[in-house]
């Protein structure tokens, strides 16, 4: 039952326990609930002296039926910041990492997945519609990633490259031309692939074809040969 909402029956058991002078920890043990769950339930509904199971259940049902605001709907300043960064062709991973380093906006930070969900909600989750055109991978819908033990993690086809969170601070500052953010874009069925390199300062976007496949060797060869002959500083890859 851990993590599930309290039921009407459990709330009635809490009322009975309080009237019987049972401690909240004993009630929690009897219901196989965390003591903190019972303590919060009683506190938010008037305390031991005023707890009413019927009123507590009604309040819970009203709260569950009320639409919840997303992070972007609740923090408009954060939403506008993310929209501006996306318009500059920054990836959701880059935006999320740099927000976390800066302590967020209004105390709020977001994960890359939250940004992707906001973009692909097409204006219904607090971000403006049409932001998908700024992503390196332009898809009409977001493909959900596997979680937990659903699927084994695959090694990156890019091999061992500088990751975004490991790049030099000067690259994040955007004051010096020549620091590139790389991405590998694979077509349907893995039949085609390209490498994109975006300069952090100038926003120059370079694209290289991978006709021989997207193995680590081919990606590396593409990054150090034409059309990227003048890329001399570290390249950070989004994986």
pLDDT digits (tens, 9 = 90+) for 17-56: 999 999 999 999 999 999 999 999 999 999 999 999 999 9
- 169 and 114 part of one domain: no
Flag whether 82 is in a domain: yes
How far, in Å, CA of 191 to CA of 134, rounded? 24
Short-list 7, 130, 124, CA closest to 64:
7
* pLDDT of res. 150: 46
First and final C-alpha spacing in the chain: 36
Domain boundary among 90, 118, 134: 134
Phi, psi of 193 (to 5 degrees): -160, 150
Flag whether 96 is in a domain: yes
- 83 and 51 part of one domain: no
Structure confidence by residue, pLDDT tens digits, 171-189? 666 777 777 777 888 887 7
- 77 and 128 part of one domain: yes
Domain boundary among 17, 32, 65: 65
- 180 and 233 part of one domain: yes
Angle between helices 8-19 and 53-65 (to 10 degrees): 150
173-193: string of b/e by CB count within 10 Å (b at 16+)?
Answer: eeeeebbbbbbbeeeeeeeeb
Flag whether 148 is in a domain: no
Q: How many CB atoms lie within 10 A of CB 127?
A: 25
* pLDDT of res. 177: 74
Q: Which domain holds residue 130?
A: 71-134
Which of 63-72, 170-179, 218-227 tops mean pLDDT?
Answer: 63-72
- 60 and 78 part of one domain: no
- 219 and 166 part of one domain: yes
Q: Whole-model pTM? A: 0.40
How far, in Å, CA of 59 to CA of 32, rounded? 23
Flag whether 152 is in a domain: no
The tally of domains found in the chain comes to 3
Flag whether 139 is in a domain: no
Flag whether 2 is in a domain: no
- 88 and 40 part of one domain: no
- Is 158's pLDDT higher than 50? no
* pLDDT of res. 149: 47
Over its C-alpha atoms, the chain yields an Rg (Å, rounded) of 25
Flag whether 190 is in a domain: yes
- 87 and 122 part of one domain: yes
- 177 and 220 part of one domain: yes
- Tell me what percent of the residues of the chain surpass a pLDDT of 70: 76
Q: How far from 196 is each of 65, 165, 209, CA to CA, in Å?
A: 45, 18, 9
Flag whether 220 is in a domain: yes
């Amino acid at each position: 039952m851990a993590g599930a909402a309290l039921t009407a029956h459990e709330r009635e058991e809490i009322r009975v326990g309080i009237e019987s002078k049972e401690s909240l920890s004993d009630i929690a043990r009897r219901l196989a609930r965390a003591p903190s769950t019972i303590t919060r339930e009683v506190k938010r509904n008037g305390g031991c002296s005023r707890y009413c199971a019927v009123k507590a259940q009604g309040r819970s049902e009203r709260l569950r039926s009320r639409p919840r605001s997303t992070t972007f709907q609740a923090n408009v300043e954060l939403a506008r910041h993310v929209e501006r960064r996306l318009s500059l062709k920054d990836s959701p991973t880059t935006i999320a990492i740099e927000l976390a380093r800066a302590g967020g906006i209004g105390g709020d930070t977001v994960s890359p997945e939250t940004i992707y969900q906001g973009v692909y909600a097409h204006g219904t989750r607090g971000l403006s519609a049409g932001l998908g055109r700024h992503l390196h991978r332009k898809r009409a819908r977001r493909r959900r990633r596997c979680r937990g033990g659903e699927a084994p993690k695959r090694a990156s086809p890019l091999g061992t490259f500088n990751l975004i969170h490991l790049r030099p601070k000067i690259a994040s500052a955007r004051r010096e031309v020549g620091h590139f953010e790389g991405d590998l874009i694979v077509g349907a069925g893995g039949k085609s692939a390209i490498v994109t390199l975006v300069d952090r300062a100038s926003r120059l976007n370079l694209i290289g074809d991978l006709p021989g496949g997207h193995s680590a060797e081919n990606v590396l060869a593409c990054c150090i040969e034409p059309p990227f002959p003048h890329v001399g500083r570290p390249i950070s890859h989004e994986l």
